[in-house]
């Protein structure tokens, strides 16, 4: 790290705020009313998700749950349905849990320890809430900020490593201003999202370029260091697409913990031979069956190769069978929604 190459008279925050006042985005849905609830919701939705994707989800979510009290009182199924397609569903479950905790508390927490005690809120998200909603000077370090600082200070190493992240936190704390922290927090996230992008950064338009070590040494592509490669394991399962003569689909709600927690999905078995045993246990009589092509869905830590087995069954049991209207109003994982849409609409 070559900090000596950064001009000692360069004011990071001042340069950033000057740029933001002219070029920053100020018309995003969550910027119109910077209430703690709206800021918190936007920050959770923006975790690992781009702004363009989040905007319609945020608008629809706020329309259905306009206050934290309404969110807290809503059934989790309704929350997950509104979140369906956005991914990383633990965010929705944590949001719902935290909303209930806040309502029970009687006020929206405005200190770092209180926010960190809530489900799904880490140090950077808490800092953004305190800065933007409460105008408290707090540093943040989301993915965009990590990239900006890694390039500006030429910090080597993958930003997910503990010692690298510690350095970046120290830098973020050092340059975060006391005054104007709300605009500053939005500005540094904006800079990373619009100019200091992962690929093809627009350095010639960046207000930091005159002091950016990576730019001055023409080593932009070296920062931040890529995540060490990792071979993802592959899990293979069979989805049972069970329907009756009325074309109603059998769906089950998944456990709250784990992948797709709380969402409605198809039964799973490990082998084709297990499908008949599963149907026997449910007292289903198989009328016909058809194997569909195997597909892949990739999670952050493994590949899921799934083979849909379409089964028409006869059964007096109808507790988990869903009509088209019913399953269209369930919170379904994206691959399951696609399967049902392609085969039963």
52 and 128 fall within a common domain: yes
Which residues in the chain belong to E strands, given as ranges?
Answer: 234-243, 249-250, 252-253, 264-265, 268-269, 285-291, 295-298, 303-314, 321-322
Q: 138 CB contacts (<8 Å, ≥6 apart)? A: 112, 126, 127, 128, 130, 131, 176, 181, 185
Judge whether 229 lies within some domain.
Answer: no
* Host domain of residue 293: 234-344
d(CA 171, CA 175): 6
CATH number of the domain residue 18 falls in: 1.10.340.30
Strand, coil or helix: 162 = helix
- The catalytic residue positions are 43
Across-strand partners of 237?
306
Judge whether 227 lies within some domain.
Answer: no
Q: Which pLDDT does position 2 carry in this prediction?
A: 47
pLDDT tens digit sequence for 228-253? 888 999 999 999 999 999 999 999 99
Neighbours of 25 (CB within 10 A): 14
Domain count, the chain: 2
For all residues of the chain together, what is the average pLDDT? Answer: 94
User: Which pair of tokens denotes residue 59?
Assistant: 């608008």
The alpha-helical segments, DSSP class H, found in 84-142 are: 90-105, 112-116, 123-134
41 and 177 fall within a common domain: yes
84 and 36 fall within a common domain: yes
Judge whether 276 lies within some domain.
Answer: yes
Q: What are phi and psi of 312, to 5 degrees?
A: -95, 130
User: Measuring CA to CA, which residue among 206, 325, 321 is closest to residue 266?
Assistant: 321
Q: Which residue has the tokens 């569903």?
A: 89
220 touches 203 (CB < 8 A): yes
The model's pTM: 0.88
pLDDT tens digit sequence for 85-118? 898 999 999 999 999 999 999 999 999 999 999 9
pLDDT tens digit sequence for 38-74? 999 999 999 989 999 999 999 999 999 999 999 999 9
207 and 269 fall within a common domain: no
Across-strand partners of 290?
310
Judge whether 23 lies within some domain.
Answer: yes
User: Which pair of tokens denotes residue 263?
Assistant: 């969402």
127 and 13 fall within a common domain: yes
Residue 158: DSSP 8-state: B
167 and 19 fall within a common domain: yes
Q: 285 CB contacts (<8 Å, ≥6 apart)? A: 279, 313, 314, 315
Cα first-last separation, the chain: 58
Q: Which residues, given as ranges, of the chain have pLDDT below 50? A: 1-2
């Amino acid at each position: 790290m070559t900090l000596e190459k950064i001009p000692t008279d360069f004011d990071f925050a001042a340069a950033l705020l000057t740029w933001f006042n002219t070029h920053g985005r100020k018309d995003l849905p969550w910027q119109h009313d910077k209430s703690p609830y709206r800021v918190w919701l936007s920050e959770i939705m923006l975790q690992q998700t781009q702004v363009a994707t989040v905007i319609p989800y945020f608008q629809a979510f706020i329309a259905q749950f306009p206050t934290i009290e309404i969110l807290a009182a809503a059934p989790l199924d309704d929350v997950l349905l509104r979140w369906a397609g956005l991914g990383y569903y633990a965010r929705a479950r944590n949001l719902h849990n935290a909303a209930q905790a806040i309502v029970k508390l009687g006020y929206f927490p405005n200190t770092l320890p209180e926010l960190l005690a809530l489900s799904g809120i880490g140090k950077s998200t808490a800092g953004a809430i305190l800065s933007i909603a409460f105008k408290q000077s707090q540093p943040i370090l989301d993915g965009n900020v990590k990239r900006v600082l890694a390039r500006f200070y030429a910090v080597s190493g993958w930003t997910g490593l503990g010692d690298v992240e510690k350095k970046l936190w120290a830098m973020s704390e050092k340059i975060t201003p006391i005054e104007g922290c709300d605009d500053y927090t939005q500005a540094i996230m904006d800079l990373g999202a619009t100019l200091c992008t992962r690929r093809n950064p627009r350095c010639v338009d960046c207000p930091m370029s005159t002091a950016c070590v990576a730019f001055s040494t023409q080593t932009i592509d070296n920062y931040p260091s890529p995540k060490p490669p990792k071979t993802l394991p592959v899990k293979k399962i069979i989805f049972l697409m069970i329907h009756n003569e009325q074309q109603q689909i059998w769906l089950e709600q998944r456990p709250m913990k784990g992948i797709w927690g709380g969402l409605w999905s198809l039964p799973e078995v490990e082998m084709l031979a297990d499908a008949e045993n599963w149907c026997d246990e449910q007292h289903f009589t198989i009328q016909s069956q058809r194997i569909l092509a195997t597909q892949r869905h990739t999670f952050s830590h493994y590949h899921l190769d799934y083979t849909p087995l379409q089964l028409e069954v006869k059964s007096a049991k109808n507790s988990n069978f869903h009509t088209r209207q019913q399953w269209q109003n369930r919170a379904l994982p994206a691959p399951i929604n696609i399967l049902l849409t392609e085969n039963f609409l």
